Amino acid sequence: MTAEERFLQYIALDTTSDENSPTCPSTEGQWALIRLLEKEMKGLGMENVRADGHGYVYGFIPANDVSLPAIGLIAHMDTVDAVPGSPIHPKKVRYTGGEIVLNEEKNIRMTPEQRHLGHDLIVTDGTTLLGGDDKAGVAEIMTLCEYVLAHPDEKHGKICVGFTPDEEIGRGADLFDVAGFGADFAYTVDGGAPDEIEYENFNAAAAKVLVHGFSIHPGAAKNRMKNAARLAIRFHEMLPVHQIPECTEGYEGFFHLCDMKGAEQEAELTYIIRDHDRQKFEEKKARMRKIADYLNGEYGDGTFELHIRDSYYNMKEKVLERPEVLHKAEDALRRCGLTPRSIPIRGGTDGARLSYMGLVCPNLGTGGCNGHGVYEYVSVNDMEKMVEVLKRLVLK
């Protein structure tokens, strides 16, 4: 089975994750893909295949050359809830330039990246995401495993495979069995262009601001009402106006207001905080605390309640302790005719958390573009190229 065929099979399953769910995996839909992958891995002849009670799927291909390192390959099974995750109506188009009409009836159009001229692209109908993030990575890893098992004369070390739930809600590495996984180091296959190697990601935190007001009839409000909704706006306006996603790129960090709700009595603001630089990351958190303290001094103690929780840290510090892991990936890319590019991730991967859990884990591309939206698409050509990259990565 090709990576394309696997991909189309996987995206037919709705695996949207849910941040508000207390379970792992967070949604029942993810179990369909978990069970499918478990069955497929066993059918290929992989060893110690298991789906644990939390929805993590593991298996490995034994080494036929024990002098080679045990390499892990990891991808996540869930998809983001930013746009609908089903029903997905994919179609395959040859990109010859200009716009692609995704949906004639709704007049939804998209212009792919110029580097994909001449490529076969799998696109959506403009009403859902596609699921390339990260089912393209899942499909490429599984296709690599099928190849390796069908070519037993090609030398390789132990190949450890892991598929995680709930990466899109920041929980993908929470219950990952690093010791049981058995890899010396690993790579997530969860990026963009095939020539990319990503080992710098944001330091990340989530912040919640609860504002406690005092509601009273507006006609009798003078010197009495404390409008929580208005005070929430004041808190937000005290943050740096240009340190937002819409005004930043590259290594520039930001505060991102994800959600706001409330009325006179209670209000709530939800943020994510991001920065590649650890010191600037800590300064951003300190700035939010300073604002909360200042406003509590003005409106009374307890008016503003701030909760900040760190999510993950920049994996660069850990990856650079094992430069050979990067060199191996770079060599695989060059052997496939690609010139390696290292770009900072303006986000995070399971690999960031795993690198701090003792499993150094930079990120490789998949051929996917425009993730987390209805204009998401995957290049079939790039998927095929990534399978070749993975071969060069794990085979001697």
Contact in structure between 359 and 72 (CB atoms under 8 Å): yes
Same domain, 229 and 98: no
Judge if 187 and 66 occupy the same domain.
yes
The reply to whether 167 belongs to the active site is yes
Closest by CA position to 191, among listed 174, 225, 167, 212: 167
**Pairwise CA distance, residues 38 & 61, whole Å:** 14
207 and 197 co-located in one domain: no
Q: Give yes or no for residue 343 having a pLDDT over 90.
A: no
**CATH (domain of 294):** 3.30.70.360
End-of-domain residue from the set 280, 312, 344: 312
Which residues partner with 123 through β-bridges?
A: 91, 377
Strands 266-275, 100-103: pairing kind: unpaired
Please tell me the distance from the alpha carbon of residue 129 to that of residue 85, in angstroms, as a whole number: 6
Among 38, 40, 78, 146, the one annotated catalytic: 78
Out of 273, 288, 312, pick the residue that ends a domain. Answer: 312
**Based on the domain organization, do 331 and 276 belong to the same domain?**
no
Which position among 4, 18, 167, 198 bears the catalytic label? 167
Q: Tens of pLDDT along 112-149?
A: 999 999 999 999 999 999 999 999 999 999 999 999 99
Q: Are residues 258 and 378 in the same domain?
A: no
pLDDT tens-digit series, residues 294-337: 999 999 999 999 999 998 999 999 999 999 999 999 999 999 99
Domain check: are 102 and 175 in the same one?
Answer: yes
Asked if 95 and 191 sit in the same domain, the reply is: yes
Neighbouring residues of 192: CB distance < 8 A, sequence distance ≥ 6: 365, 366, 367, 368, 369
For residue 223, how far is the Cα from the chain centroid? 48
Q: Convert the pLDDT of each residue in 14-23 to its tens digit.
A: 999 998 999 9
pLDDT of the residue at 1: 95
Per-residue confidence (pLDDT) for residue 348, from 0 to 100: 83
Please confirm, yes or no, whether 78 is among the known catalytic residues.
yes
Radius of gyration of the chain (CA): 23
Residue 278 is predicted with a pLDDT of 96
pTM (predicted TM-score): 0.90
Residue 92, pLDDT score: 98
> Among 312, 344, 363, which residue terminates a domain?
312
pLDDT digit string (tens) for 40-87? 999 999 999 999 999 999 999 999 999 999 999 999 999 999 899 999
Tokens 């987390």 appear where?
372
β-bridge mates for residue 75, sequence order: 163
Q: Give residue-wise pLDDT tens across range 205-263.
A: 999 999 999 999 999 999 999 999 999 999 999 999 999 999 999 999 999 999 999 99
Q: Please tell me whether residues 189 and 274 are part of one structural domain.
A: no
89 and 156 both lie in a single domain: yes
User: What's the CATH number where 192 sits?
Assistant: 3.40.630.10
Domain range for 367: 3-201+314-394
> Count of domains in the chain?
2
pLDDT in tens, 176-190: 999 999 999 999 999
